[in-house]
Amino acid sequence: MRTRFQQQMEDLREKLLRMGGLAELAVDRACQAYTQRDLSRCQLVLENESLINAAEREIDELAFDILATQQPAAVDLRFILAVTKINADLERVGDQAVNIAERVMDLIELPAVELPVDIARMATAVSAMVRRALESFVEGKAELAQAVLEMDHVVDRMRDEAFIMLVRKMNEEPQVTQQALDALLVARNLERVADHATNISEDVIFWVLGADVRHHAQAASVAPRPERHEQ
Amino acid sequence: MGVGINVEQLNAFYGKTQALFDINIAVLANRATALIGPSGCGKSTFIRCLNRMHETIPEARVEGTVRIGDLSVYNGTSATQLRRRVGMVFQKPNPFPTMSIYDNVAAGLKLNGFRNRKQLDEVVRKSLESSALWDEVKDHLHKKSGASLSGGQQQRLCIARALAVQPEVLLMDEPCSALDPISTGKIEELIFQLKEQYTIVIVTHNMQQAARVAEFTGFFLLGKMIEFDKTEKIFTNPSDKRTEDYVTGRFG
């Protein structure tokens, strides 16, 4: 048993989980800031970003170190590749949270108006996707990751509906165009967070099963692996 | 050119102890195939069954079928006939110490009654070129003995000696385990080039070496072939948990 190697792998896993926690928190705070028109939460999201960026660098450095010194193979190699890709997706999730916070800061400056879009519902769905994608990583379960992939269509539909409704609103009431545009951008940011959660789930499936399911590859590749013999 | 190797239901014994159990494998011609596994797993025994070296050990015996090209190894083929077609390189370089570099390479041919000096010169040169040693030794072929070379050069001399009889298959039993990284790199480069002309089967303890040089890899454990597949599959996504545990260093 390679004790130091196993310790490094465990460190990598823990660092990614902490990073995941930061990204998840950033999205939740940004969504709460939107629904509650809360400037202080926006500021927390902006402050949080530097922590996420630092965590991204730290994870990449450790992964690079392990690759250079331990020559991992098979499931370990797939794990490290998956971690580096998930790491990049989580950093982008943090960026999207910042984008949402910036839209909210803009909205707070404007008069509050009723808009025909349920951002809170969309935010709940997107947060659930991020949380479940991270759970699938924690538990190493491809089935959980697969469930996240299926949720992506729901969020895509919400984004499309929001687009139609908000454009109509802008046409009918040009005086609320700025608010509607901000809400539209928030919906687009949320949809992108969902895309990152999808990427994370695909990487978990790659790590666990060795199957590449990106770009709508055959779902059959997610079939359970052949029965394994115990040593 | 190389030929394929087909092994069916191969069992090998040392007296009453069974070392290999029902091995089935089809080695493709002109490819490098690596055999990996922990010490005592049977990979060296297996490779020695391919050129009938296993039976040189007292009370050792083999059951099953081995075909090398059109040659049935255990059915009517003499060991001498076989070894003209199957060369072998061992863990420790073993040049004939009192012979010159030239005579080391020519030894196999001379043993087979080959006497034409001009043709011998040609074969020696070609063999040393193929083993990437010619430039280093061409000026003292007759003056220096095989033993005067460095470890890495000695191993390449042994490869040249094996190639001189123009085999179709080259067996290598941990050929780099006694060599430094530079010499190892040269042998690996050589393996890469040689497989254009020969079928290579290499036993190695160095998994990265298997990953670097071989298109196919077989994993042995406790005398059984656990998994045989394309090398990239073995090292990225093996089918059997035992293979995965071995290549990830969880045992062995």
A216 in reach of chain B (CB within 8 A):
no
A21 in reach of chain B (CB within 8 A):
no
A221 in reach of chain B (CB within 8 A):
no
Structural domains of chain B in order of their starting residue, each with its CATH number? 5-95+169-247 (3.40.50.300)
Q: Of A2, A74, A228, which is closest to B236 when you measure between CB atoms?
A: A74
Q: pLDDT, tens digit, for every residue of A60-107? A: 999 999 999 899 999 999 999 999 999 999 999 999 999 999 999 999
Shortest CA distance from A80: residue in chain B:
B236
Q: pLDDT, tens digit, for every residue of B216-248? A: 999 999 999 999 999 999 999 999 999 999 999
Closest CA to A13 of A134, A149, A142, A146: A134
Closest approach of chain B CAs to the CA of A58, in angstroms? Answer: 24
Q: Of B235, B239, B251, which is closest to A231 when you measure between CB atoms?
A: B251
A40 in reach of chain B (CB within 8 A):
no
Shortest CA distance from B221: residue in chain A:
A231
Q: pLDDT, tens digit, for every residue of A193-215? A: 999 999 999 999 999 999 888 87
Q: Which of residues 108-137 of A touch B (CB under 8 A)?
A: none
DSSP-based three-state secondary structure for A21? helix
Give the count of beta carbons closer than 10 Å to the beta carbon of residue A7: 10
Q: pLDDT, tens digit, for every residue of A115-137? A: 999 999 999 999 999 999 999 99
Do the chains contact at B248 and A72, CB–CB below 8 Å?
yes
The class of domain A3-222 in CATH terms is mainly alpha
Q: Are B192 and B23 in contact (CB under 8 A)?
A: no
Q: Of A71, A77, A226, which is closest to B239 when you measure between CB atoms?
A: A226
Closest CA to A183 of A164, A204, A205: A164
In chain B, which stretches have pLDDT less than 50? none
Closest CA to A101 of A44, A53, A50: A44
What's the pLDDT at A1?
Answer: 61
Q: pLDDT, tens digit, for every residue of B175-229? A: 998 888 888 998 899 998 899 899 999 999 999 999 999 999 999 999 999 999 9
Mean pLDDT confidence for A47-66: 96
Q: Residues near A176 by Cβ (< 8 Å), separated by ≥ 6? A: A113, A115, A169, A170
Q: Are B131 and B183 in contact (CB under 8 A)?
A: no
Do the chains contact at A75 and B207, CB–CB below 8 Å?
no
B230 in reach of chain A (CB within 8 A):
no
CA pair distance A199, A205, nearest whole angstrom: 10
